Structures are given as structure tokens and as C-alpha cells.
Amino acid sequence: MTTFVFLIVYVGLVSFLVASLVRAVMYARQPLHLRWELYPVPHEPSERVAHGGSYFEESKWWEKPRTVNRLTELKFMLSEMLFLKALWEFNRGLWFRSFPFHAGLYLLIASVKLLILSALLAIFWPAAMAGAFGAVLGALVAVCGALGAFLAMIGAFALLLKRLRDPDLKNYTAPGDIFNLLFFLAAFGVLAAGYLLRGPDYPGTVAMAVALFTFDTSVRIPILLAAGLILMSLLITYIPLTHMAHYVGKYFTYHSIRWDDLPANEANEIQQKIAQYLAYRPHWSAPHIRADGQKTWAEIATTNPHAGGQSK
């Protein structure tokens, strides 16, 4: 059974990374769109960010050096990612449910990363794990994991209740939305139960991680914990296949759309890309477009629909 569990865990981790990457690459390879920014744009100088202003507030803005403050952008993004700032500002009731859920996930991720570190140290530098440092690391893994699972479950349950009871949400709730939250609850619940009921034969969390790294299938995994690991692996396989992969999408909605205010004149790359897109041949059917499958976008844009007769 250990072999089976390990394989599922490997597949889960790899498919999570690959599917998330595929999503990111897919969006990154889509054509550069027309500008569609939304203010405030946090990389403007701080005196402008305060009121949501842009470089367009200066007369002859193109003759002046443009300041792009990546630090304020990072600060904005971090407060959004870590503390769900927009939800706090605009939907406080939901924040009290969503924040514990997301904070729980972050703590679980932290726990997994610390566990990986512990396992690598145990394999390559066993002395480091033998002393106090190892004990602290082990405690951190346990605390982050336990707190993370607790918060994520509380949050998922609160979100589930809200989705089932709030008339604002009901009309838009698909079966999949309920399933997703139940899936989280089941995976975290079984994993937590498996850990709490691990019994005296449990080899230890770090030893399990080491076994995973070294594919040592001789370790015995308690049955409930194995079920928890399998559910978690299925969950992380599933997440990037759904809209829950907004950790990928959000990068693009913010950086590539809301905050993309780069003037075309300042980037040759933009000009080159647009020149390429203008050679596309659209197929829109309305008569005034004058697209015949042969005309390029550039030709259509320079066609007056009145030339050669009325289009409508």
C-alpha cells in the first residue's frame, strides 16, 4: 500500500506543478491585448497612487521620465495575496470566512515546505536534524500543519454554509462549487484525523518525508493517514484544473491587465507584436466589418465601410 500512496503523492505533486505551469504559459502566450488598465495603478509614484492618478496627469507626459515603482506594486500585491485586501475592503462578511481558509492553506504550504527542508537535511546532513534545530523545525512543521488544517477547515465550512444559505450566492452556485468545498473539508479532515490517530507505530512525519524522497516503501503508513494523503494528492491534482487556480490567473489579471500601462512608444516589443497581429485575418460576418477571410486586420481598420456602398 505504501508504494501506491507514494505514487499517488508523486503524481499529485507533479500534476499540480505541470497543470499550473501549463495554465501560466497558455495565458502568457496569448496575444498582447489593447490597454485596459484600471486606476489606481500601484507602480505610479506614491504621491499619485494616493489618489489613483497616472502619468497622464502631467502635461507633455511623454517628454518626462516615467517612474515605475515596483516596490509599491509588490507591497500592494503582498497585502492582496496574504491578507486578501480587496475582500477586506469590499466584502468584509466574506473576508471573515475566506481569510481563515486561505491563511490555512498558506500555513499548510509552509508546513510542507518546512517538511521538505527537514527531509533534505535528514538525508544530506543528519547531524543538523539530530539537535535542537531539528526539534524546532519539527515543531514548526507540526504547528503550521495543525493550525493550517484547522483554519482551512473552519474557513471551508464557513464558506460552504454561506454558499448554501446566502441568497446573493445561491443563484450562481453550481454543483461543482459545493463539491469543491466538500472536497477540501474531506481531504483536510481525513488527513488531520489520520495524523491525530496515527498510533504508536507511526514512523514520524520527517521519516515519512524522507521515505517519500528516497522511495523507501518499507515504511508503514497508518490506513487513515494514507487515505488522507491520497485525498490531498487528488485535491492538488484537481485544483489547477478548475477556477480555483486563481493563484495563476490573478497574476495576469493584475499585472497584465489592471496595471499594464506601458505606452507603445516606449517598447519596441509592443510595436513588433502589434504589427504581427495586424496581419491576422479575422472572419467576423457583419457586413460593415468587410471581413472576407482574406483582408487583414490592418486592411479592415483602414477600410471605410462607406467606400463602395453602404454596409447597412
**What is the closest distance, in whole angstroms, from the C-beta atom of residue 116 to another protein in the complex?**
28
Closer of 231 and 300 to another protein (Cβ): 300
Closer of 214 and 276 to another protein (Cβ): 276
Closer of 51 and 113 to another protein (Cβ): 51
Closer of 70 and 243 to another protein (Cβ): 243
Q: Which residue has the cell 477600410?
A: 303
CA-to-CA distance for 144 and 105, rounded, in angstroms? 10
DSSP 3-state assignment of 164? Answer: helix
**What is the closest distance, in whole angstroms, from the C-beta atom of residue 255 to another protein in the complex?**
9
Closer of 3 and 30 to another protein (Cβ): 30
The residues near 45 (Cβ < 8 Å, ≥ 6 apart) are: 67, 69
CA-to-CA distance for 11 and 7, rounded, in angstroms? 6
**What is the closest distance, in whole angstroms, from the C-beta atom of residue 260 to another protein in the complex?**
10
**What is the closest distance, in whole angstroms, from the C-beta atom of residue 297 to another protein in the complex?**
8
Closer of 215 and 277 to another protein (Cβ): 277
Q: Which residue has the cell 498558506?
A: 106
Q: Which residue has the cell 491576422?
A: 280
Tell me the torsion sign for CA atoms 147, 145, 251, 267: positive
Report the alpha-carbon angle 305-310-312, nearest 5. Answer: 95
236 within 8 A of 13, measured Cβ to Cβ: yes
**What is the closest distance, in whole angstroms, from the C-beta atom of residue 189 to another protein in the complex?**
22
CA-to-CA distance for 241 and 238, rounded, in angstroms? 5
**What is the closest distance, in whole angstroms, from the C-beta atom of residue 305 to another protein in the complex?**
6
Closer of 86 and 139 to another protein (Cβ): 86
Tally of CB atoms within 10 A around 297: 15
Closer of 53 and 138 to another protein (Cβ): 53
The residues near 244 (Cβ < 8 Å, ≥ 6 apart) are: 180
**What is the closest distance, in whole angstroms, from the C-beta atom of residue 301 to another protein in the complex?**
4
206 within 8 A of 130, measured Cβ to Cβ: no
Nearest to 96 by CA among 107, 104, 88: 88
**What is the closest distance, in whole angstroms, from the C-beta atom of residue 110 to another protein in the complex?**
22
Q: Which residue has the cell 466584502?
A: 91
